Amino acid sequence: MCKLRFVALYLISIFLILLNQNLGRSIYEWVFYDAFFYILMPLTAAYLLGFKPHELGFKIGRKEGYIWALVLFILSFPISLYASRLESFETYYPIFTYTSPGDFLFKEILIGVIMFAHEAFYRGILLFPLAKKNEWLGIIAQNIPYTLVHIGKPPLEIPYSFIAGIVFAKIDLKSESFLPSFLLHWIGSAVFDLLIVLQ
């Protein structure tokens, strides 16, 4: 019965990813659909299957994960600086249009909501239940769909997202929360957009 819960949650979650892929994609629709399909629906399914939010990484967690997130942000900054000068990234990012610095900031906050939904889903709902039984099974199970959703972005993002997905998962498992990877992902993304804009 216990294994069936994990399998059911995983299959329902993958189904929700597929449902979400072809829906509207203005930034506002993106925020709404990601909050719905990556947080609300999977959390409802998890609750019905007997999982509690804290078992899925929905808590502050231990500071160790946050320290690692800060170290990785500092170490990855030179990579971001280099990538921001590549044409494939310059033409793709930022993924929204903006009319002023205030509009840019507001849309980066909306991107933060999207990042929160993604990290809650991949590094929370998909990772923690499986990793509790088998750490590497949990890491790979969340990382394959996470990497696949990067198809269509600049080509270098696919191998980078695969590596990042493993690193993020390890950090979050140390922290017992997905919040460190959320902060790392969001702040890294916002800084990257800023580097592109300021060129």
| pLDDT at res. 187 | 97
| pLDDT at res. 24 | 59
Please indicate, yes or no, if residue 80 is contained in any of the structural domains. Answer: yes
**Whole-prediction pTM value?**
0.91
**182 vs 40: CA distance, rounded Å:** 17
- Domain assignment of residue 79, given as a range: 53-197
Low-confidence ranges of the chain (pLDDT < 50): 1
CA distances from 11 to 15, 17, 22, 80, 122 (A): 6, 10, 19, 34, 13
Residue that has been written with the tokens 């929905």 in this structure: 58
- Residue 49 burial (CB < 10 Å; 0-12/13-18/19+)? middle
Please indicate, yes or no, if residue 36 is contained in any of the structural domains. Answer: no
CA distances from 46 to 5, 6, 39, 76, 131 (A): 9, 9, 10, 34, 15
Give the angle subtended at the CA of 43 by the CAs of 166 and 55, to the nearest 5°.
60
Please indicate, yes or no, if residue 172 is contained in any of the structural domains. Answer: yes
Please indicate, yes or no, if residue 1 is contained in any of the structural domains. Answer: no
pLDDT tens digits for 10-54? 778 777 777 666 555 788 888 988 899 899 999 998 998 899 999
Q: How many domains in the chain?
A: 1
Answer whether 142's CB lies under 8 Å from 169's CB.
yes
| pLDDT at res. 134 | 92
Of 47, 37, 49, 59, nearest in space to 3 by CA: 49
Report whether the peptide linkage leading into residue 94 is cis, meaning its omega lies within 30 degrees of zero.
yes
The helix (H) or strand (E) run that includes residue 140 is helix 135-148
Cβ atoms within 10 Å of 132's Cβ, excluding its own: 12
